[in-house]
Amino acid sequence: MTSKLKGWPTRVVVTLLYLFLLAPILMVVVISFDTQSTMSFPPQGFTFQWYERLAQNAEFIQGFQVSAVVGAGVALLALLIGVPVAVALTRHDFRFREAMSGFFLSPLMVPAIVLGLALLLVLAPLKITGTYGGLIVAHLAITVPYVVRTTSMSLMTMNRSCEEAARTLGASPWRTFTRVTLPLIAPGVLAGGVIAFLISFDEAVISLFVVGPQATTLPVEIFHYVESRTDPQIAALSVVLIAISVLFMVIIERAAGLKKVLR
């Protein structure tokens, strides 16, 4: 039955759909090797020069470093906040549980531009806009919810009697968590961390509000760059970023299975 449904018309449609979705990415890859000095199609020749220039572009390299540091910090802190919150939400019953659950998921429902403005209003008086700290705090607002979600999912699907067994065998609540719960939910936690990093690394809208001269992230640098110039260096940079994203996705897939995490 299903094999009939997967006959050639379906296959053609699915293939076309994928091509349509992937076309822009393929185009970017092609353009990044083009000899023309503005991004246009079809390509006129083949060169590595845009990659070479990219490697010498101080702003991009600086931005990359800022984004990597911020992303790592965000991933770490999002885990340190998100995992305990997920444990509280799934393992304990308390008066404001529902409210807390809503609170931790709400940033995902607010448009990024509104959130960016709100964060600016909060962070500016604290004088931490334009710093690593400010960026990290801003990004935590949108990444903690993801960590809470992936971790909660793992906590809800794991066999709870394993925790109870550990307790009867003499493990204190804390050791039960570190020796049994954490190893069993590790794939979900790791996935949450990687997603947090990627979101932080990719985030432009909120960052635009809170970046400053000392700390400007890569997406913001790109944004500024394309405002004035349109050479294929951007395409080359995009290819590098795509490669990094794919690498991370492979890590998640290996650790937990993408489908499970994105459910």
Partner 1 sequence: MSFLQLDDIVKEYPGTERPSVADFTLGIDQGEFVSLLGPSGCGKTTTLRMIAGLIEATSGRIHLDGKELTRTPVHQRGMGLVFQNYALFPHLNVARNVAFGLEMRRTSKAEARRRVEEALDLVRLGHLSGRRIKQLSGGQQQRVALARALVIEPSVLLLDEPLSNLDAKLRDTMREEIRSIQRKLGITTVFVTHDQDEALAVSDRIVVMSEGVIEQVGTPEQIYEHPANRFVANFIGRANLFDAEITHTANGVAELDVAGLGQLRAVDDHGAKGPATVLVRPHRMQLSKAAAGDAHGTVETVVYVGDSIEYGVRVGDATVSVQSVAGAAERLERGASVRLSWQAEDALVLT
Q: Which candidate, 24, 42, 22, places its Cα nearest to that of 33?
A: 42
How many amino acids of this chain bind partner 1 (CB under 8 A)? Answer: 19
Q: Does 157 bind partner 1 (CB under 8 A)?
A: no
Query: Pick from 17, 165, 226, 242: which binds partner 1 (CB under 8 A)?
Result: 165
Query: Pick from 115, 138, 166, 222: which binds partner 1 (CB under 8 A)?
Result: 166
Residue 237 to residues 52, 68, 73, 98, 211, Cα–Cα distance (Å)? 11, 15, 23, 43, 20
Residues 145 and 153: beta-carbon distance below 8 Å: no
Could you give the string, one character per residue 113-152, with x where binding to partner 1 holds by CB under 8 A and - elsewhere?
----------------------------------------
Residue 8 vs 174, nearer CB to partner 1: 174
Q: Does 159 bind partner 1 (CB under 8 A)?
A: yes
Contacts for 21 with CB less than 8 Å, ≥ 6 apart: none
Query: Pick from 167, 248, 251, 253: which binds partner 1 (CB under 8 A)?
Result: 167
Q: Does 171 bind partner 1 (CB under 8 A)?
A: yes
Residue 122 vs 184, nearer CB to partner 1: 184
Query: Pick from 180, 190, 195, 210: which binds partner 1 (CB under 8 A)?
Result: 180
Query: Pick from 162, 244, 251, 258: which binds partner 1 (CB under 8 A)?
Result: 162
Q: How far apart are CA 221 and CA 233, in angstroms?
A: 13
Query: Pick from 161, 227, 228, 247: which binds partner 1 (CB under 8 A)?
Result: 161
Q: Does 56 bind partner 1 (CB under 8 A)?
A: no
Residue 93 vs 227, nearer CB to partner 1: 93
Residue 19 vs 182, nearer CB to partner 1: 182
Query: Pick from 5, 58, 109, 169: which binds partner 1 (CB under 8 A)?
Result: 169
Q: What is the 3-state secondary structure (H, E, C) of 203-251?
A: CCHHHHHHCECCECCHHHHHHHHHHHCCCCHHHHHHHHHHHHHHHHHHH
Each residue of 53-63: b (16+ CB within 10 Å) or e?
A: ebeebeebeeb
Q: Does 170 bind partner 1 (CB under 8 A)?
A: yes
The values of phi and psi at residue 215, to 5°, are: -140, 100
Q: How far apart are CA 232 and CA 58, in angstroms?
A: 17
Angle made by CA atoms 72, 75, 76, in degrees to the nearest 5: 85
List residues near partner 1 by CB under 8 A.
159, 161-162, 164-173, 175-176, 179-180, 183-184
